[in-house]
Structure 1
Amino acid sequence: MTEFKNVFAVAPMIDWTDRHCRYFHRQISRQALLYTEMVVADAIIHGPRERLLGHDAAEHPLALQLGGSDPVKLAEAVRIAESYGYDEINLNVGCPSDRVQSGTFGACLMLTPETVAGCIAAMKAVSTAPVTVKCRIGVDEQEPEEALPALITRVLDAGADAIWIHARKAWLKGLSPKENREIPPLDYEIVYRMKQRWPDVFIGINGGIRTLDEAASHLAHVDGVMLGRAAYQNAAVLADVDHRFFGAPAPEPDWPALCERMMAYAERHIAGGGRLQHVARHMVGLFTGLPGARRYRQILSTDAAKSGAGPEVLAAAFAAVDFTGAEQEAVSA
């Protein structure tokens, strides 16, 4: 991230925003900031680095999200990631999953802001890219009006370049990760108040944002907006991002050209030993609500999963969609 201003981002999502998903999203929006899945520092240090950190050059601007609570390990992970050229390094202080809690990182770090500050300071000391934090407004019985500014104060003193805030509490016990994305009430106003309190600091907002209109309304109050499931489950929403938020000409999506690019990408992936399903699974929701979308989903969900499936499956899926009919419906609506 080179400029912290009016940023539109696709949120980091475990099991979803892998390199194939990000390449696909980048074909639809050239300027949205994309995030990796959360990658645990220990995995980078001891695991298959190319698989964890490798990405296509087309994915930029691209942020790496790290998980961890040990400043030494996080700093080492950042050193290793330096050669991969990420545009931002983000520390996860918001994930409430049991796996993350067992490692004492993610959302539970909101209970120990001094630990988060130590991690940020260590990461900043070795990173040439901006270092940012993504957090919740609080966890469990914390009072957000106290816990959130306390965390922000600590991490800014440690050198954090930006703060992304998921505008919900996380309940570490009693709610699943899915329930933690839906049940705790949204409180956008507290995020706005943090921006008012720190007017010179980038504050971005996340949580429950479904449309670009909603995203635009938040940008009247904060510096960045992040869509998660809404962007993944209907990636076509990204087609207007460059126009709405970055001043690009109004889009005229060229879906056949997108199909050709994704076929070429899938062919390269398969030639390298991968499977079509690794790519196609992220594309299933692209045409939600358009004529032929059901057949499109069927083809990608079944044929792409078959052994030996090739890029021609993508062509068959795209051929099932009536783009002309979709345009006519849009005009008459």
Structure 2
Amino acid sequence: MRPGLAASRRFSVAPMMDWTDSHCRVLHRLLTRHGLLFTEMVNSGAIVHGDAERHLRFDAVEHPIALQVGGSNPAELAEAARIASGFGYDEINLNVGCPSDRVQSGKFGACLMAEPELVAECVRAMRGATDMPVTVKCRIGIDDQDIEESLDRFADAMVEAGVAALYVHARKAWLQGLSPKENRTIPPLDYPRVYRLRQRLSPLSMMINGGIETLDQAEAHLAQMDGVMLGRAAYHNPMLMAEVDARIFGDDRPVPDLAAIMATMAEYAEGQLGRGVRLNGIARHMLGLANGRPGARIFRQIMSVDACRPQAGPEVFMRALAAVEDRAEAV
């Protein structure tokens, strides 16, 4: 374990499919030096049988970073963990929380909450293949499970398998009848159930996820938990993370302001364009940077429309910044 990894889990950004790619994580790292960043979920089969370099490479500035994998075949997950070890990740996390139909059809994600013994076997196999800490992200239950008995049984199996930490989304997942989007909002949140689990299993490191929108809420959870995980709130309003280091980690060093962030991302984009990346692949993660400022709508328009134009370059970022600065001066 890298020095400070356990501390970095005090604040993490959730793995989000199609969102938390390497470009997104480079941006987020500008805003928090200490928080733990997660990859999108990667299917273990894609790592073992596909282009591992494409799926696993990341920029060194992204540390500390956790790789999230999905799968249910212990041998395949072990091989995926072995391969991932060579890329230098700080942690490897097994997804036992995603409720999508595509994930269920592959027998991984939230449906594995019904098979704690299999998940435990997967954790043991991964631990045997890597020196990285092996963690699990799960729900409090699925469908009609009793969240007292079934969650305890699942978590106990993870402890017995030697899991390094648990990330618990404080909602059930309904595998039939609700879409993945609905599963993020409709099943009621039950934070006290996660608190009880953490108290029972202490000193196992346990982080809470689900419905956390502000740093005030995050700090309240930290009175009960070892860490908090934010997803869409952090993605859509990334400047929220500008206060994380001071409020969550006690690091009062200044973080870059909007102008410095835009300049750094423009420089980053210049290098990525030379590798064949299109500007909108980077710009799409930056749309919320100006939220709450005069000119934010124009900023988003430039970043979302102009960045898609053929031959668009980093000057788009500076033009978007200028629109915000001009509006600020006019106020």
Q: What band does the TM-score fall into relative to the shorter chain? A: over 0.9
Aligned with 1:32 (options 35, 38, 56): 35
1:113 aligns with 2:143: no
Residue 312 (structure 2) aligns with: 309
- C-alpha distance in 2 between matches for 1:291 and 1:251: 23
- Structure 2: which 5+ residue stretches go unaligned? none
- C-alpha distance in 2 between matches for 1:311 and 1:325: 22
Residue 6 (structure 2) aligns with: 4
Q: Secondary structure at the match of 1:96?
A: coil
**One-letter code aligned to 2:287:** V
Q: Secondary structure at the match of 1:58?
A: helix
Q: CA deviation at 1:321?
A: 1.2
Aligned residue pair count: 328
Q: CA deviation at 1:249?
A: 1.0
Distance 1:323 1:66, change over 3 A: farther
Q: CA deviation at 1:198?
A: 1.1
Residue 80 (structure 1) aligns with: 83
After superposition, give the CA deviation of every residue in 1:97-122 in whole Å (9 maximum; x if it has no partner). 01100001000000000010000000
**One-letter code aligned to 1:126:** A
- Structure 1: which 5+ residue stretches go unaligned? none
- C-alpha distance in 1 between matches for 2:161 and 2:96: 15
Q: CA deviation at 1:7?
A: 1.3
Q: CA deviation at 1:252?
A: 5.7
Residue 297 (structure 1) aligns with: 300
CA RMSD of aligned residues (A): 1.6
Distance 1:322 1:84, change over 3 A: same
Aligned with 1:133 (options 131, 136, 141): 136
- C-alpha distance in 1 between matches for 2:326 and 2:206: 38
Kindly indicate whether the alpha-carbon contact (under 8 Å) linking 1:290 and 1:322 is maintained by their aligned counterparts in 2. no
Residue 227 (structure 1) aligns with: 230
Distance 1:61 1:320, change over 3 A: same
Percent identical:
58
- C-alpha distance in 1 between matches for 2:102 and 2:325: 43
Q: Secondary structure at the match of 1:128?
A: coil
Q: CA deviation at 1:195?
A: 1.1
Q: CA deviation at 1:289?
A: 1.6
Q: How does 1:278-293 map to 2 (within 5 A)?
A: 278-293=281-296
Q: How does 1:125-164 map to 2 (within 5 A)?
A: 125-164=128-167
**One-letter code aligned to 1:315:** M
Moved more, 251-260 or 146-155: 251-260
**TM-score where L is the length of structure 1:** 0.96
Kindly indicate whether the alpha-carbon contact (under 8 Å) linking 1:240 and 1:250 is maintained by their aligned counterparts in 2. no
1:51 aligns with 2:48: no
1:16 aligns with 2:19: yes
**One-letter code aligned to 2:6:** F
**One-letter code aligned to 2:306:** D
- C-alpha distance in 1 between matches for 2:47 and 2:132: 17
Q: CA deviation at 1:275?
A: 0.4
